[in-house]
Structure 1
């Protein structure tokens, strides 16, 4: 019986590179594969699956939220590979589960487990519940040599813990971290933002006081 696989890792853990290597091996053996990706992932071109190492392939199927994968032709397919699977809906994951069983095709899904706020993505959560095999693609923390388990997002050079979960950015915007470094950077950013807010409030108060002083003591 073919299996449904979930291979997850933090940003920068070479998940897509791993996917492309598997795809290359199948094609070298003359086997037919299907490459899928969510249509919201347009960082390297809408139909391209590209790793940060520079390797790339064209996606065969773009998955939209309302996509139905039942209509696709799976005859002769030896393997299905899905990149950035965290962005698909739970319904798509359930269809991939059925495809692996009904057509006896292994389905390998690659993606993030959690968002930058530490919560499971919808697609990843359903995969954790349904996958036959769950494997971690490991990477080290951006700040130390511990294993990374968190995805840290930077906005204007500071760590962020608020905002939309689905926001595709360049490499410099997201960093793999261990939990210790993740918490430190979040807390440091909160302190800096509080100081900036107080500075703005103080500056506004000073301007208001100067304005009142001019009104009370007009120039003769």
Structure 2
């Protein structure tokens, strides 16, 4: 029986390399995998899953016009992998649920749990509520050796704690941090 998996981690935790690794494993066994990514993430061009270590693969772009259920019916993959799943909306997550439950195709969605202010993304909220299995991809804090659980947005190397929820960026814009370091940097910013 197929399952819906949500694998989340902070920025720089290796989510995209994990997506590419799992896709490679399926393909190496002669199995068909559909690789999807959000239209929102255009850092390396729309329709690309790119890891920080340089590996990349083309992907199908998920936007408001894509019927993922129809795509899954036509393509009949062994598995569907979704990168940047935090950018999905509730309707798109509902499509993934239908693919798992009605088409019996496993779906593994990878993304951030929360934004730089500690607020859940719409896609992450829906996935946490509905996923059969929720797994954390771990990394360490940028400033200490504790486990990173938050994303801190930076501008010119300095932490910032305001702005739009979505700002596409990589290491130049975000660092993974533990809750204690996040709170310390926030407190220092507020006292200035």
For the aligned pair, the TM-score class normalised by the smaller chain equals: over 0.9
1:62 is aligned to 61
Gap runs ≥5 in structure 2: none
Stretch deviating more after TM superposition (31-40 or 149-158): 149-158
1:154 is aligned to 154
1:203 is aligned to none
Contact (CA 8 Å) 2:10, 2:151: kept in 1 or not? Answer: yes
Distance in 2, Cα, partners of 1:149 & 1:183: 12
* Higher relative contact order (Cα pairs below 8 Å, separated by 6+ residues): 2
Contact (CA 8 Å) 2:69, 2:98: kept in 1 or not? Answer: no
1:180 is aligned to 180
Corresponding residue SS for 2:96: helix
Distance in 2, Cα, partners of 1:164 & 1:67: 25
2:80 is aligned to 80
Gap runs ≥5 in structure 1: 193-220
Offset of 1:97 from its aligned partner? 0.6
Offset of 1:158 from its aligned partner? 2.2
2:91 is aligned to 91
Alignment of 1:1-220 (within 5 A): 1-59=1-59, 61-74=60-73, 75-192=75-192
Corresponding residue SS for 2:5: strand
Contact (CA 8 Å) 1:65, 1:88: kept in 2 or not? Answer: no
Corresponding residue SS for 1:25: helix
Distance in 1, Cα, partners of 2:72 & 2:155: 43
| Displaced runs of 4 or more, over 4 A | none
- TM-score, normalising length: structure 2: 0.95
Offset of 1:190 from its aligned partner? 2.5
Corresponding residue SS for 1:24: helix
Offset of 1:155 from its aligned partner? 2.2
Corresponding residue SS for 1:134: strand
Corresponding residue SS for 1:2: coil
Offset of 1:73 from its aligned partner? 4.3
Offset of 1:72 from its aligned partner? 1.3
Larger Rg over CA atoms: 1
Corresponding residue SS for 1:171: coil
Distance in 1, Cα, partners of 2:154 & 2:50: 22
**Cα RMSD over matched residues?**
1.2
Corresponding residue SS for 1:77: coil
Distance in 1, Cα, partners of 2:13 & 2:164: 22
Offset of 1:161 from its aligned partner? 1.5
Contact (CA 8 Å) 1:36, 1:83: kept in 2 or not? Answer: yes
Query: Which structure dedicates a bigger proportion of its chain to helix?
Result: 1
